[in-house]
Chain A
Amino acid sequence: DGGITQSPKYLFRKEGQNVTLSCEQNLNHDAMYWYRQDPGQGLRLIYYSQIVNDFQKGDIAEGYSVSREKKESFPLTVTSAQKNPTAFYLCASSITGVENSPLHFGNGTRLTVT
């Protein structure tokens, strides 16, 4: 079955440490995305990538970094510069070049920073 795998499901870190969240897809989608979800705020776009070796900032990119070295993989690093990193992080992918193509989501990583 094709899908998006995010790991780990739960992640705990101390303040001041960088942490990398994994996202792998086997849907052969060109576009991949990272969203952050906080209670009562919906989803907010952190970064997106339309193609390998290219990515763009979303609405809340400060304190985050990404890479897209392979089509299947789009890891997100939460740096110590992110002021409030505790949240639920969702990775998604979509087909490009097709109108109203929906997003396909992984099951998320819940990050807690203390």
Chain B
Amino acid sequence: AQSVTQLDSQVPVFEEAPVELRCNYSSSVSVYLFWYVQYPNQGLQLLLKYLSGSTLVKGINGFEAEFNKSQTSFHLRKPSVHISDTAEYFCAVSDTGGFKTIFGAGTRLFVKA
């Protein structure tokens, strides 16, 4: 069975500081990995998705994620955050069929001035 663990429920950070949101997954089969962002009272938007062959994935809004197969991790990073990055971030994994996407519990990023 697949599962996703987001290690931090909340991450407060000052504007222009770097941030890392941690995600670990478990699966017995090949998976596809995603990060989504959710602004208040809205749906989720895709930030980035893992494509096989490259461990570093670049997404929108300056975010990137590093896939580490040996540690089964897919941590999200941004070198310098803005106030507008304040949102909830979800790590997700789906199987090769794609119909069962499992989401982590989410990490609330709070950027302070």
By a beta-carbon cutoff of 8 Å, the part of chain A in contact with chain B is 4, 6, 9, 31, 35, 40-45, 48, 50, 56, 58, 90, 92, 94, 96, 99-108, 110
B39 — nearest CB in chain A belongs to which residue? A107
Chain A residues lying within 8 Å of B34, measured Cβ to Cβ, are 100, 102
By a beta-carbon cutoff of 8 Å, the part of chain B in contact with chain A is 4, 9, 32, 34, 36, 41-46, 49-51, 90, 94, 96, 98-101, 103-106
Task: Name the contact of A100 in the complex, choosing from B36, B42, B45, B49 (C-beta under 8 A).
Answer: B49
A102 to B93, CA, bound (A): 10
Task: Name the contact of A42 in the complex, choosing from B45, B46, B106 (C-beta under 8 A).
Answer: B106
Q: Is the CB of A103 within 8 A of B105?
A: no
Chain B residues lying within 8 Å of A44, measured Cβ to Cβ, are 103
Some 26 contacts from A to B, beta carbons below 8 A apart, are: A9-B41, A35-B103, A40-B105, A40-B106, A42-B104, A42-B105, A43-B90, A43-B103, A58-B100, A90-B44, A94-B98, A96-B98, A99-B32, A99-B98, A100-B49, A100-B51, A100-B94, A102-B34, A102-B46, A103-B46, A103-B101, A105-B43, A105-B44, A107-B41, A107-B42, A108-B42
